[in-house]
Each structure stands twice: as structure tokens, then as C-alpha cells.
């Protein structure tokens, strides 16, 4: 992705000034996810920003996993994140990096802080530590273990590493300022005891660094020039800088903050997304209703549309709420331009063409895209029995042509890329429901104007009843009914949309059964659909509704 030449946002201005002043000869950014869940749409913004800036200014962007908490991290998340970054169209510089790559260095630097009198081993319980920390309006107080000698701290920290103590028994804390107005500077934790295997280092370690201790030092080791975080890390920047100033780091990066993506009708908390998965509200992290990158991908959102959306919303220093309709608009624009056209009948009504012999199959030709001749053509089998959508027929001949541009008893309509037909009679069941329409085709009207006196009301879509295929269509709606489901005191689960998924059996063009997984289409007059990347097969076609043809949410 190339960032457009629109007026520069504040990060571009900073980078351009740094380069112009000779502060750096080239820039280096990083995308540092924690592998404790799947990436979501907010991460997509960060990915596009960090990789996009590196690309624009001919620098590099590292992919680095901040894997400092083995209790919540899994290899499956690592693999999914790498796939997401690639799918969005980006390639990281060199090999994938991990915080765990630097655990030996972090340990040595922790020893350095102890020797310099800037760190100590603390025995306070989590509850006691919270009490000692104070509040935003009340200064904290020193831990009774803050005055331990360097020798005692070195001994205890070494024994922590050796596994002598239970989890929670001791932590290593930085010695900064318990009276600071910035809570992050009140002797933050550097190391915790966690006797758990790590997905990268196995059982080598039983103590693990905190995110705050690891993050800036990873940037320093990797030579990151612009460490770009979301606004919630703004209050962490003084701590970031304190570590850089008090450790023998090879490079001094600087942290900058931008506003995270907050999308209405959406939840992006990993904890809450995991709850949706764990409680089977959705089928998994890649459920098409989820705001995860893999979920959006499975729903049929394109990488180019997501990148365009991220560019549309811009980069600012102030938080705000973005209307999900902007994302949907970007998706529609992309699919309207690039999705092949096809026909599917969701609510079938059989039509029998009485003047076409039984068993005869005629091949009709249709453009794959009305405005993209390079996309080629497709062949549609036309047979005596076809299906049209039930809503496309009425017996009421009093309806004006302006109000109803479809098939009316006794009148004509054009079948897309096929004949003009006239509805002659209907067949009803015992309950009076129409089960069949009997019609006649007008010869010579394939691709030609009908003869004088034949006035089709409009054009409708259809599928051969004998040659078409049945398919499972998954009709998705927004997962939440409230525009701010996770803001406020009420449980976000209260706003889960019970109708966010409906499954429909439909008739499709036979060629659609051979669609490749993730291949997207516009089902004419129905919406944009994609062949499911997990479940779709030629024997059992499955298509997911990506988005409707028009925005009807506010109507």
C-alpha cells in the first residue's frame, strides 16, 4: 500500500522533519502485537499506518510479537497474526521478531538496574501492592522492601529466576517515585514469576518481563526510530523514556501516540471477543460476524477495501467514534468495481416455459461484469423449468409499471441475459399459495429487442431448475444491536443481535459451485457474497453475505 499524497498527518510531518534534519538516514517502525488473540479492525489501522509509513519513506517495518505473558499466548495466535499481515498486503523486514528473543538481554538489564540502585525485589502481595500504590488523587507510599541492599536484591532476583519462589510471592520493581502524579512511575513491576512454558522458549524461564519493561527495550535493540502507539500508551511514555535513559541501550527510540480506531456497533476488546468465542456466541475468532481481520476476510471484505478505509479515517491525536457505515461504504465500492456478477434465487418460485421442449438445454452467454469486459463471460444453461424469486411475480395486473417492474400475470418481463417471457397462468396448492407459474418465451429475444407490442416491465434474475445447484447462503447482519455495546455499565452481551445469522437454502448458477474459496460475487439484486474459505466445496457450496447492495441500516 502506498499512502496517498494528500496533506500529511502529524506523524508524516514528524518523519519528514527528522529526515530533513538528518536525525535519521532512514526510518524504522514496528508492529508489535501480543499473541493472545486474533487481530481486529483496530489492529488493521495500526498495521496500515506502521507498514505504510515505512513504505512511503523507504524505510522498514518489523513484525515483533510482545510475547511476555505465556499464560495467555498461543502459537495459533502467532500464526494467525502473520497470515493477517500478509493478507493485508504487507511484508515485514527480515525475520519475525519476538520479545522472547531478547529475554537474556532483558535479564542482564534488570541486573543493571539493581546494581545501580534502580530496582528491588518486593514481597508485597498484589492486594498490598495496590494499597501501597495509592490513587490518582493520593500519592503512594514506599514498599517496606524498597530499601533492600543491592546484594540482597541480586540474590533474591537470581533465586526468582532459579524457581525457588511460588508465583506471586515476589516481583522485581523499578525504584522511581511512589509520589508521582503519573501512576505508571510508581515503582512499576519489571518481572513476575510465572511457572509456565512459553511457546518460543519452552521452560527456560520462570520469570517474565512486564510489557512496559520489554517494549521500549525491544525498540532500542531493533533500532526503531519511530515507535508508534495508540493514545492509551501516552501516560506510559515517561516510563518508556525512563527505561531508555537508565539502561545501556544501543539506540534511543522515541514513542509517538495516535488515536485508536473506535468503531460503532463493534467490540474490539480482546477479552470480550474471547468471551464471544468461549461462550459459543460465534463459531470462532474467524466467524464472519467478528471484527477480527480473519473474520472480515471470511465474510468477504477485501484487503484493498480495508486499507482504503484505514486511509479514509485518517490519523489524528484525538479519539473519536468512526461510523461503521464508512467501512461498509469502502467494501461496497471495492466489490462493485471488482466482484463478478452471478445469479442466485433465495426464495424460489418455479416457472415452466411451456413452449420449450422438455430436456432441451440452451446455452446463454452473460458478461462476468457489465463494465469489465476483460473479466470475460459465463455460460448459463436455460431450460424448460427455471426458478425466479417469489417477490418478482404478482397476479395483480393493476400495479403500475413504475411500482412493479417485474413479472405480472398476463404481461412480459425479460430474464437476465435470456428471453423475454410472458406469464400465462398460475398453479396453486390447496391453501391458495402459488407454487408454479406457467409462461411462454418470445422467440428471437435473446440479446434482441422484442417485437412491437411486447413491452417487458423490467429485467429479473433466474436460475435453471434442472441445471442449477442448491447452495447454503449464510446471511449475516451486525453482531450488536446497540451502537456502543461495550460502553457504559451494562454487559455488552446484552446487545448481541439474535438475528445476526440466518441460513438460507438457495438456487445458484451451476458454475458457482466451482468458485474458489474466498472468491467474491455480486448476486444480482441480492447482495455481495463470497465462497466461504472454510466450508465451501463443489459438492456443498456455501456462500456468505458480505454486505447488501445498499445501506439499509438507517432506513
Show the cell assigned to 207.
520469570
Catalytic entry in 56, 237, 270, 299:
270
DSSP state, 518?
Answer: T
- Pairing outcome for strands 520-523 and 527-531: antiparallel
Longest Cα–Cα distance of the chain, Å, equals 104
Say how many CA atoms lie within 13 Å of 501 toward its Cβ. 15
Catalytic entry in 12, 34, 83, 395:
34
DSSP string for 381-447: EEESEEEEEGGGEES-TTS-TTT--SEEBTSEEEETTS-EEEEEEEEE-TTS-EEEEEEEEETT-TT
Do the beta carbons of residue 306 and residue 330 sit within 8 Å? yes
Separation of alpha carbons 7 and 13, rounded Å: 9
Do the beta carbons of residue 412 and residue 455 sit within 8 Å? yes
* Cα 49 versus chain centre, distance: 15
378 catalytic residue (yes or no)? no
23 catalytic residue (yes or no)? no
Show the cell assigned to 472.
447454503
Separation of alpha carbons 147 and 187, rounded Å: 13
405 catalytic residue (yes or no)? no
The pair phi, psi for residue 269, each rounded to 5°, is -65, 125
Say how many CA atoms lie within 13 Å of 6 toward its Cβ. 10
Separation of alpha carbons 174 and 116, rounded Å: 11
Do the beta carbons of residue 238 and residue 266 sit within 8 Å? no
Separation of alpha carbons 2 and 125, rounded Å: 50
DSSP state, 123?
Answer: -
Separation of alpha carbons 76 and 263, rounded Å: 26
Separation of alpha carbons 540 and 533, rounded Å: 13
Catalytic entry in 141, 260, 272, 274:
260
Write out the catalytic residue numbers. Answer: 34, 260, 270
Amino acid at each position: 500500500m502506498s499512502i496517498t499524497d494528500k496533506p500529511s498527518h502529524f506523524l508524516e510531518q514528524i518523519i519528514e522533519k527528522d529526515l530533513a534534519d538528518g536525525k535519521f538516514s532512514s526510518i524504522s517502525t514496528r508492529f508489535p502485537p501480543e499473541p493472545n488473540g486474533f487481530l481486529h479492525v483496530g489492529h488493521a489501522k495500526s498495521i496500515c499506518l506502521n507498514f505504510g509509513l515505512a513504505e512511503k519513506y523507504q524505510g522498514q517495518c518489523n513484525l515483533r510479537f510482545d510475547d511476555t505473558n505465556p499464560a495467555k499466548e498461543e502459537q495459533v495466535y502467532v500464526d494467525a497474526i502473520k497470515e493477517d499481515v500478509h493478507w493485508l498486503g504487507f511484508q515485514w523486514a527480515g525475520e519475525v521478531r519476538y520479545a522472547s528473543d531478547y529475554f537474556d538481554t532483558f535479564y542482564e538489564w534488570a541486573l543493571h538496574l539493581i546494581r545501580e540502585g534502580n530496582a528491588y525485589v518486593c514481597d508485597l502481595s498484589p492486594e498490598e501492592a495496590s494499597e501501597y500504590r495509592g490513587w490518582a488523587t493520593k500519592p503512594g507510599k514506599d514498599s517496606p522492601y524498597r530499601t533492600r541492599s543491592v546484594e540482597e536484591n541480586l540474590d533474591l532476583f537470581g533465586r526468582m529466576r532459579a524457581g525457588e519462589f511460588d508465583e506471586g510471592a515476589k516481583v522485581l520493581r523499578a525504584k522511581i517515585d511512589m509520589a508521582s502524579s503519573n501512576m505508571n512511575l510508581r515503582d512499576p513491576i519489571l518481572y513476575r514469576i510465572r511457572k509456565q512454558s512459553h511457546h518460543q522458549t519452552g521452560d527456560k524461564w520462570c520469570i517474565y518481563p512486564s510489557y512496559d519493561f520489554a517494549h521500549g527495550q525491544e525498540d532500542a535493540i531493533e533500532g526503531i526510530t519511530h515507535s508508534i502507539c495508540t493514545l492509551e500508551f501516552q501516560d506510559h511514555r515517561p516510563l518508556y523514556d525512563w527505561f531508555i535513559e537508565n539502561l545501556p541501550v544501543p539506540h534511543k527510540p522515541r514513542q509517538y501516540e495516535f488515536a485508536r480506531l473506535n468503531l460503532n456497533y463493534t467490540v474490539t476488546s480482546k477479552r470480550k471477543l474471547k468471551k464471544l468465542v468461549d461462550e459459543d456466541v460465534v463459531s470462532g475468532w474467524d466467524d464472519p460476524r467478528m471484527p477480527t481481520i480473519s473474520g472480515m476476510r471470511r465474510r468477504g471484505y477485501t484487503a484493498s477495501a480495508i486499507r482504503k478505509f484505514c486511509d479514509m479515517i485518517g490519523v489524528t491525536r484525538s479519539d473519536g467514534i468512526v461510523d461503521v457505515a464508512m467501512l461498509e461504504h469502502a467494501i461496497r465500492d471495492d466489490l462493485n468495481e471488482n466482484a463478478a456478477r452471478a445469479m442466485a434465487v433465495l426464495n424460489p418460485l418455479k416457472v415452466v416455459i411451456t413452449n420449450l421442449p422438455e430436456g432441451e438445454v440452451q446455452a446463454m452467454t452473460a458478461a462476468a461484469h457489465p463494465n469489465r469486459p476483460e473479466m470475460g463471460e459465463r455460460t448459463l444453461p436455460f431450460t424448460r423449468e427455471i426458478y425466479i424469486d417469489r417477490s418478482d411475480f404478482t397476479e395483480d395486473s393493476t400495479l403500475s409499471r413504475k411500482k412493479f417492474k417485474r413479472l405480472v400475470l398476463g404481461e412480459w418481463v425479460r430474464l437476465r441475459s435470456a428471453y423475454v417471457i410472458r406469464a400465462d397462468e398460475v398453479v396453486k396448492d390447496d391453501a391458495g399459495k402459488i407454487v408454479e407459474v406457467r409462461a411462454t418465451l418470445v422467440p428471437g429475444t435473446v440479446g434482441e429487442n422484442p417485437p412491437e407490442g411486447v413491452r417487458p416491465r423490467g429485467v429479473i434474475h433466474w436460475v435453471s431448475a434442472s441445471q442449477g445447484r442448491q447452495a447454503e447462503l449464510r446471511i449475516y447482519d451486525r453482531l450488536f444491536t446497540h451502537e456502543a455495546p461495550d460502553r457504559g455499565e451494562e454487559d455488552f452481551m446484552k446487545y448481541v443481535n439474535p438475528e445476526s445469522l440466518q441460513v438460507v437454502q438457495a438456487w445458484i448458477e451451476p458454475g458457482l459451485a466451482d468458485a474458489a474459496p474466498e472468491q467474491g460475487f455480486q448476486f444480482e439484486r441480492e447482495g455481495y457474497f463470497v465462497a466461504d474459505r472454510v466450508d465451501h466445496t463443489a459438492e456443498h457450496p456455501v456462500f456468505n453475505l458480505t454486505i447488501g447492495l445498499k445501506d439499509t441500516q438507517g432506513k
